[in-house]
Structure 1
Amino acid sequence: MAVPSGPLRLMAQIYRKVLPQVHSELENWKGKALLIPDPELRRQALASLQSKAFHCEGGAIYSLLAGEKMTDAISFIVAYQTISDYLDNLCDRSVSLDPEDFRSLHGAMMHALTPGADPADYYQYRDVSSDGGYLQDLVSTCQGVLSRLNTLGDIQPSLHELAGFYCDLQVHKHVEKDQRVPRLVAWFQKYRDRLPEMSWYEFAACSGSTLGIFCIVSYAAARGHEMEQLVQTIKNSYFPWVQGLHILMDYFVDQEEDKQEGDLNFCFYYNSEEEMMDRFNHFIEEADAAIDGMPDRNFHKMINRGLLGIYLADRKVARQRNVRVLARKLIRGSGGCGLFFFVNGWLYRRLRQSS
């Protein structure tokens, strides 16, 4: 199965091949979540599957890189993204502000990338009864897919590095409010010399995406060999710029919600809207340049444009006047491809919400 290189073919394959399997996988995990004994864990698991399903839908587009192993890739992507969304809910809406708790929970994301890792009590710092094996089942599903890859040894160091950034971010951003920024700034200083010119909050955004992991696993599923060089190309293309663009868009549309909830939002740290828009455009340009050396370059460029379109089509944008005005500028600047994905995302979300 050829990797789509034009928007019409891409959307046809997403609707025909990707989304039906994603929704089947999500229904399977919803069935397991309903059986979680602890009421709070059950509530958060179901809430993450309901309100963040589009994360799995978007991430699973990378399964189109996996060729005949697309089913395996979707299984991994949905399970891994569900771990991420579930843990994010547990940390965001938790009475706990203990970094050890957050570190222990996110150990599941590292174990999911490590076939053979012994099961652990990820909830050891929480006063909860049981999740009925829900989180461990998600971890085991990811491990099962990775254990069948011939190239696991080639890709695992990069998977662990990207996941390590992600887990560090989740620990630092969920602690006591007055500790969050100092911890994030100190963390950024450790890596500053290895990064292009950016701020601490932009580095944090670059760390908060799972796209690089999905891209690596999908290519590894298709190839079965010769991943040593390609995995470095993917990692360096997706981190920091593509991942940073992804998460900055996520925070951009969530500004009003995060203000109301008192959640950390990296868009709040720009000095002005003008500076923020300049940096968004810089991320778009750098993301395009970063993927120039990738195989299936047109596919990855479409993903870049798709990220803009799908996020900016969110209903939350329409409810925030300033965000709506800025979103229009970003869409206009993203060309015909960006507009195509914006219209598609707008229609899809409203059809899904009305069904």
Structure 2
Amino acid sequence: MTVPSRPIKLMAQIYRKVLPCVHSELEKWKQKALEIPDPELRRQALASIETKTFHCEGGAIYSLLAGEHLQEVVSFIVAYQTISDYLDNLCDRSVSLDPADFRCLHQSMMKALTPGAAADDYYKLRENRADGGYLQGLVSTCQHVLAQLPAFQIIQPALHELAGFYCDLQVYKHVKKDQRVPRLIAWFKKNKAHLPEMSWYEFAACSGSTLGIFCIVSYAASRGDEMAQLVNRIKDSYFPWVQGLHILMDYFIDQEEDRVEGDLNFCFYYRNEEEMINRFKHFIEEADTAIEHMPDKNFHKMINRGLLGVYLADQKVARQRNVRVLARKLITRSGGSGLFFFINGWLYRRIRQSI
């Protein structure tokens, strides 16, 4: 199976090969979530699947890089993203605000990237614990897929590095409100020397994506013998710029919702809208430059444009006047390919809601 390099071919393969696989996997996890004994854990597990399906749909596009191993890689991506979304729900709605609890929960994301690692009690610091093996089932699925990859030992350090950033972010951003920004700034200062010029909140955004992990695993499934040369190139291409663009778009469309809920939103820290849009454009340019030396670079450029198009097509944009105006500027900046994905994303979201 050749990696698509044109928008129409990409969308055809997504609809024909990727989405049916994703929905089949999610249905399995939904059935397992329905069997969770604890009502609160069951509610959050089901909510994470029902409201964040598009995270799995988007992440699973990388399975098109996995050649004949597409099915197994979709299985990994859906399981890993489902862990991420489920834990995000648990932390967002947590009463404890205990960083040790959040760290304990997120150990599951590191264990998922460590085949052979023993199961742990990820809930040991919280009252709601009876999940009927749901979280460990997700972890074991990820471990099983990774264990089959001949190049796994080569890619594991990069996977752990990216997941380490992700888990740190989830811990620091969910603690007591008055501790969030100081912890995030201190964390940024520790890593600043190894980063291009950016703010603490942009670094946090770059850390909050799973795309680099999905890209590395997908290539390891189809190009195992090349991964010694490829793995760091992929990691450095996706972190920070591509991942940062992904998460900044996520926060961009969530501004009104986060303002109402009092949730942390990294877009609130820009001095004004002009600075925010200029930085978004900078992230677009840097992401394009970063993937210039990637294999299948046209595919990765389409993903960049697709991220912009799909996020900006979200109905949340239409409900926020300022965001809508700024979104038009970003769509214009993303060119014909971005417009194609914007229209496609707009139609897909509305067709799904009408079914």
**TM-score > 0.5, shorter chain as reference:** yes
Q: Secondary structure at the match of 2:97?
A: coil
Note the alpha carbon deviations across 1:243-283, whole angstroms, 9 max, x for none: 00000000000000001111100000000000000000000
Equivalence for 1:188: 188
Q: Any stretches of 5+ residues in structure 2 without a counterpart?
A: none
What does 1:229-240 correspond to in 2, within 5 Å? 229-240=229-240
**CA separation in 1, counterparts of 2:176 and 2:128?**
21
Q: Any stretches of 5+ residues in structure 1 without a counterpart?
A: none
Equivalence for 2:70: 70
Equivalence for 1:145: 145
Note the alpha carbon deviations across 1:269-305, whole angstroms, 9 max, x for none: 0000000000000000000000000000000000000
Instruction: Confirm whether residue 213 of structure 1 aligns to residue 213 of structure 2.
Output: yes
**Once structures 1 and 2 are overlaid, which stretch shifts more, 257-266 or 218-227?**
218-227
1:199 Cα deviation after fit: 0.1
Q: Secondary structure at the match of 2:118?
A: coil
What does 1:316-327 correspond to in 2, within 5 Å? 316-327=316-327
Instruction: Confirm whether residue 328 of structure 1 aligns to residue 312 of structure 2.
Output: no
Instruction: Confirm whether residue 125 of structure 1 aligns to residue 130 of structure 2.
Output: no
Change beyond 3 A, Cα 1:147–1:296: same
Equivalence for 2:351: 351
1:228 Cα deviation after fit: 1.2
State whether residues 309 and 338 of structure 1, in contact with CA within 8 Å, keep that contact through their aligned partners in structure 2.
Answer: yes
**CA separation in 2, counterparts of 1:128 and 1:349?**
34
**CA separation in 1, counterparts of 2:327 and 2:96?**
35
Q: C-alpha root-mean-square deviation of aligned residues, in Å?
A: 0.5
Equivalence for 1:83: 83
* Matched residue type, 2:166: Y
Note the alpha carbon deviations across 1:94-146, whole angstroms, 9 max, x for none: 11200000000000000000001010000000002400000000000000000
Equivalence for 1:303: 303
State whether residues 123 and 129 of structure 2, in contact with CA within 8 Å, keep that contact through their aligned partners in structure 1.
Answer: no
1:333 Cα deviation after fit: 1.0
**CA separation in 2, counterparts of 1:177 and 1:329?**
33
**CA separation in 2, counterparts of 1:129 and 1:334?**
45
TM-score (norm 1): 1.00
Note the alpha carbon deviations across 1:205-262, whole angstroms, 9 max, x for none: 0000000000000000112322112000000000000000000000000000001111
Equivalence for 1:228: 228
State whether residues 312 and 327 of structure 2, in contact with CA within 8 Å, keep that contact through their aligned partners in structure 1.
Answer: yes
Equivalence for 1:116: 116
**CA separation in 2, counterparts of 1:12 and 1:129?**
42
State whether residues 37 and 129 of structure 1, in contact with CA within 8 Å, keep that contact through their aligned partners in structure 2.
Answer: no
1:354 Cα deviation after fit: 0.8
Note the alpha carbon deviations across 1:157-192, whole angstroms, 9 max, x for none: 000000000000000000000000000000000010
Equivalence for 2:102: 102
**CA separation in 2, counterparts of 1:256 and 1:212?**
28
Equivalence for 1:245: 245
Equivalence for 2:54: 54
Equivalence for 1:259: 259
**CA separation in 1, counterparts of 2:343 and 2:224?**
37
**CA separation in 1, counterparts of 2:129 and 2:62?**
36
* Matched residue type, 1:137: G
**CA separation in 1, counterparts of 2:261 and 2:153?**
42
Equivalence for 2:176: 176
* Matched residue type, 2:115: P
**CA separation in 2, counterparts of 1:268 and 1:228?**
40
**CA separation in 2, counterparts of 1:124 and 1:230?**
39
**CA separation in 2, counterparts of 1:76 and 1:153?**
17
TM-score (norm 2): 1.00
1:64 Cα deviation after fit: 0.1
Equivalence for 1:281: 281
* Matched residue type, 1:39: P
Point out 4+ residue stretches in structure 1 off by more than 2 angstroms. none
**CA separation in 1, counterparts of 2:198 and 2:128?**
40
Q: Figure out how many residues of one structure are paired with residues of the other and give that number.
A: 355
